[in-house]
């Protein structure tokens, strides 16, 4: 029996969860990333998908290519308010930065906004920023006045400056080598282009430690957290690995690795906190995700969307979902394509954003919802009309909250509707791109207008669809179940486990204990 992409991954309503363990306090502000090499995809493209997990406002931005005056400096790093205190510093900007699409977000303790987890640039270099905790000894030795680019700075510099995934990895590494690294405890980036991928990990400790591993056409990777396992000692001369010059020597000095007695140098064991790849921090381990993607091959764009949408992964911690469709046979560079869901894609549709699109509808731009400091300041009048529009992030978050209140009633229906909406667009994209190619040859401005009008129209249709779903499900919940009220005196900002749409599972118990 054939299944839809979502059915191939997530079986409802009898969900039996295995192989996962909740690790307290680590799942927020984390982010997922999935890489599938070109030999394992339906059309020979590379696919890079993922989520961004931060408790703040998220908005879509298309940043133009820009030239910068000689001597232009960029402020990087964090402040003393960060989890690991730091101080801001400045580094030189390059002469020209590339056009890119990104989801900005508004808050992470001590890190100046707007922040980013990466995105897609005009050269089809896609970047996902993903947590990767360093061992406690490295965290303990991190200087309280650390300086240098932070995780967001490195992701932004990669999409601003890189023409290939390898070059992005080299840029990140060279920036850490030259200027240091401001850490919140360890981080990584999952990078891809139409030919290959790279995992780059930056470690805490103030020692400038970093490591990178190439992902090839037959590889699959699910990072949550970012990981690298066995690493060659001759990495400086190896085409598939990179790292800081002190990567092995520092481990030997600390007594964490003995080349005379240990055959293998494992980045995960030496510098990380151990194998979280098997248990993970949500309801499906990264190892299981990798197995699913391998078994699913050839993987389509729709399959990757369904993987990012899976209710065992996507929840209220997701600020957005992304799928980069990286194609070596792209007929025009303006057709570099990033599919983006405006909030957690479990209940939000993916929309196609080509790099040539002129701008973003106001509903998908910056709003005050969940933006730090809004309760203490009046709005900038320049945002007056944009703020007056209905924010896509808020609309589809409402849909998530209503749907996940009674997922046994609503989730299958919402998933089918969103998938049908996306399937229609996936079928239209080849014709839209063919028309755009003809227009690029004769009138590039007309081509950009065509792509902009198409996606803006689909964005408007998505908003109408979201409103209808919210209205219908809210009425059904009111009539059938009633609207649950919080206990008197409860703190609305108390946090805790994410709102999710899991069915037949208790998120308060480890999934491996559930039947």
On the question of pLDDT at 277 being above 90, the answer is no
* Cβ-proximal residues to 5 (8 Å cutoff; 6+ apart), any chain: 300, 302, 303, 305, 306, 419
- Is residue 320 included in any domain, yes or no? yes
pLDDT value for 165: 99
Mean pLDDT over 297-309 rounds to 98
Higher pLDDT pick, 263 / 150: 150
**Interval 154-159 mean pLDDT:** 98
The Cα 354–Cα 428 span in angstroms is 14
Task: Provide DSSP, 333-354.
Answer: GGG-EEEEESS-TTSS--EEEE
Q: Are 353 and 455 in contact (CB under 8 A)?
A: yes
Q: Which percentage of the chain shows pLDDT scores above 70?
A: 90
pLDDT of 260? 95
Give the model's pLDDT for residue 85: 98
- What's the rounded Cα separation, in Å, for the pair 230 and 266? 4
Give the integer Cα–Cα distance in Å for 158 and 340: 19
> Which of 309, 321, 325 is closest to 429 using CA atoms?
325
Range of the domain at 32: 5-374
- Residue whose C-alpha is closest to residue 52's, from 233, 296, 311, 320: 320
Mean residue pLDDT of the chain comes to 91
pLDDT tens digits for 237-249? 999 999 999 999 9
Q: Which residue has the tokens 């300041």?
A: 377
* pLDDT at position 496: 78
pLDDT of residue 509: 43
Would 188 be classed as within a structural domain?
Answer: yes
pTM above 0.85, yes or no: yes
Q: How many domains is the chain partitioned into structurally? A: 1
Q: Which two tokens stand for residue 268?
A: 């995960």
Q: Helix 165-179 to helix 151-161 angle, to the nearest 10 degrees? A: 130
Residue 6 has pLDDT above 50, yes or no: no
What's the token pair of residue 263? 């055959």
179-227 pLDDT per residue, tens: 999 999 999 999 999 999 999 999 999 999 999 999 999 999 999 999 9
Closest by alpha carbon to 319, among 110, 83, 29, 111? 29
Q: Which residues pair with 118 in a beta bridge?
A: 128
In a domain, 404, yes or no: no
Residue 490 lies inside a defined structural domain of this protein: no
Closest to 282 (Cα-Cα) out of 322, 321, 317: 317
pLDDT digits (tens, 9 = 90+) for 379-429: 999 999 999 999 999 999 999 999 999 999 999 999 999 999 999 999 999
- 366 pairs with which residues across the strands? none
Q: What is the mean pLDDT of residues 304-309?
A: 97
- With respect to residue 246, please indicate whether it lies within any of the assigned structural domains: yes
457 lies in some domain: no
Residue 73 phi, psi (nearest 5): -115, 155
Residue 65's pLDDT is: 98
Between residues 509 and 91, the one the model is more confident about? 91
Do residues 334 and 356 lie in contact, with contact meaning Cβ atoms separated by under 8 Å? yes
Q: What is the CATH number of the domain that holds 244?
A: 3.60.60.10
Torsion angle of C-alpha atoms 174, 176, 180, 185, degrees rounded to 10: 180
Sheet harboring 351-354: ordered strands across? 220-223, 33-36, 46-53, 318-326, 337-341, 351-354
Q: Is the pLDDT of residue 436 over 80?
A: yes
Residue 232: inside a domain? yes
Share of the chain above pLDDT 90, in %: 86
If you average pLDDT over residues 122-132, what whole number do you get?
97
Residue 221 lies in a domain: yes
pLDDT at 186 (0 to 100): 96
Q: What is the pLDDT of residue 281?
A: 58
CB burial class (10 A; 0-12, 13-18, 19+) of residue 465? middle
| Residue 515 predicted with pLDDT over 60 | no
A 10 A CB-CB count for 252 gives: 15
Alpha helices in 65-161 (DSSP H): 136-140, 151-161
Range of weakest confidence among 17-21, 167-171, 265-269, 433-437: 17-21
């Amino acid at each position: 029996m054939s299944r839809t992409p979502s059915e191939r991954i997530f079986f409802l309503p009898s969900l039996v969860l295995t192989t996962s363990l909740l690790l307290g306090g680590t799942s927020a502000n984390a982010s997922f990333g999935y890489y599938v090499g070109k030999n394992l995809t339906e059309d020979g493209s590379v696919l890079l998908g993922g989520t961004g997990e931060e408790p703040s406002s998220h908005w879509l931005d298309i940043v133009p290519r820009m030239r910068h005056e000689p001597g232009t400096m960029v402020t990087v790093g964090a402040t003393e308010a960060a989890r690991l205190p730091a101080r801001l510093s400045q580094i030189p900007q390059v002469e020209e930065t590339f056009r890119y699409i990104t989801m900005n977000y508004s808050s992470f303790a001590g890190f100046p906004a707007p922040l980013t987890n990466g995105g897609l640039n005009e050269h089809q270099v896609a970047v996902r920023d993903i947590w990767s905790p360093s061992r406690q000894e490295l965290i303990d030795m991190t200087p309280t006045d650390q300086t240098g680019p932070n995780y967001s700075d490195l992701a932004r510099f990669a999409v601003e400056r890189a023409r290939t995934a390898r070059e992005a990895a080299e840029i990140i590494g060279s920036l850490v080598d030259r200027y240091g690294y401001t850490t919140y405890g360890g981080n990584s980036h999952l990078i891809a282009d139409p030919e290959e991928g790279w995992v780059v990990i930056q470690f805490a400790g103030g020692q400038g430690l970093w490591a990178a591993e190439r992902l090839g056409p037959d590889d699959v990777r699910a990072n949550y957290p970012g990981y690298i396992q066995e690493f060659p000692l001759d990495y400086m001369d190896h085409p598939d690995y990179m790292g800081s010059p002190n990567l092995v020597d520092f481990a030997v000095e600390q007594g964490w690795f003995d080349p005379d007695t240990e055959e293998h140098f494992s980045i995960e064991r030496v510098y990380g906190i151990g194998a979280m790849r098997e248990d993970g921090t949500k309801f499906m381990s990264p190892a299981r995700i990798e197995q699913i993607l391998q078994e699913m091959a050839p993987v389509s764009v729709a399959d990757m969307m369904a993987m990012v949408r899976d209710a065992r992964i996507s929840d209220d911690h997701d600020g957005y979902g992304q799928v980069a469709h990286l194609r070596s046979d792209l007929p025009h560079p303006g057709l570099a394509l990033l599919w983006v869901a405006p909030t957690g894609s479990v209940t939000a549709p993916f929309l196609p954003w080509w790099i040539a699109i002129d701008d973003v509808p106001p509903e998908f731009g910056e709003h005050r919802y969940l933006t730090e400091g809004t309760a203490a300041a009046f709005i900038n009048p320049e945002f007056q009309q944009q703020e007056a529009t209905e924010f896509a992030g808020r609309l589809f978050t409402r849909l998530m909250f209503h749907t996940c209140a009674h997922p046994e009633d609503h989730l299958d229906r919402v998933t089918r509707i969103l998938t049908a909406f996306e399937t229609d667009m996936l079928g239209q994209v080849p014709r839209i791109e063919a028309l755009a190619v003809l227009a690029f040859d004769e009138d590039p401005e007309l081509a950009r207008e065509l792509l902009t009008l198409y996606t803006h129209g689909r964005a408007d249709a998505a908003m109408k669809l979201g409103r209808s779903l919210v209205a219908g499900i809210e009425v059904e919940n009111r009539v059938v179940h009633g609207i649950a009220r919080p206990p008197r005196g409860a703190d609305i900002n108390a946090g805790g486990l994410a709102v999710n749409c899991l069915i037949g599972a208790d998120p308060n118990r480890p999934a491996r204990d559930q039947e």
